[in-house]
A = this chain, B = another copy of it.
Amino acid sequence: MEKTPARLRRVPSRLLGLAAAQADRVVNSGFAELDARKWHYSALVALHDSGPASQAELSDRTGIYRSDLVAVINELAERGLVERTPDPDDRRRNVISLTEAGREQFVRLEAALVAMHEELLAPLTEAEREQLIDLLVKLVFPQ
């Protein structure tokens, strides 16, 4: 990409794709060291900050599709980080709740993520990082 035409270098959609790929590389490899991936983190955050939930509600909280969430919960349950128990009040539902191990893993992932962002955002100053986040929030969650 050395000789990339100048025109191409400032195409916003392309920049977003490249930046996201870069972020994915950092985050995937960082989480992999902790036997996790980013969806695990999303689910653990949602459970930690808003308490136990059905899979449907967890999907709503995290933006992970119901269909993909099945595998995520499977993986988290295998590792003993969450528990999947049938909801007695509604037999269609599972209640997903954090275990103690899950809470510990959450703390580890949170710390790892801070380090990863330090690496990812290294070219930006603190003020620029805030700016970028604000702009992205505006873009992704408009209004």
- CB-defined contacts of A4 to chain B, threshold 8 Å: 46, 61-63
Chain A residues 38-67 with CB under 8 Å of chain B are: 38, 42, 45-46, 49-50, 57, 60-63
Is A141's CB under 8 angstroms from B9's CB?
A: yes
Is B42's CB under 8 angstroms from A14's CB?
A: yes
Q: Does A108 interact with chain B (Cβ within 8 Å)?
A: no
Is B133's CB under 8 angstroms from A19's CB?
A: no
Question: Nearest chain B CB to A100's CB is how many angstroms away?
Answer: 20
**A136 with B16, Cβ < 8 A, contacts A5-B46, A5-B49, A123-B142 known:** yes
Number of interface residues of A (CB under 8 A): 59
Q: Indicate the member of A24, A27, A133, A140 with the most B CB atoms within 10 Å.
A: A140
Q: Indicate the member of A8, A15, A23, A117 with the most B CB atoms within 10 Å.
A: A15
- CB-defined contacts of A49 to chain B, threshold 8 Å: 5-8
Is B15's CB under 8 angstroms from A140's CB?
A: yes
Question: Nearest chain B CB to A6's CB is how many angstroms away?
Answer: 8
Is B132's CB under 8 angstroms from A135's CB?
A: yes
Is A61's CB under 8 angstroms from B5's CB?
A: yes
Q: Does A115 interact with chain B (Cβ within 8 Å)?
A: no
**A62 with B1, Cβ < 8 A, contacts A8-B42, A113-B11, A132-B12 known:** yes
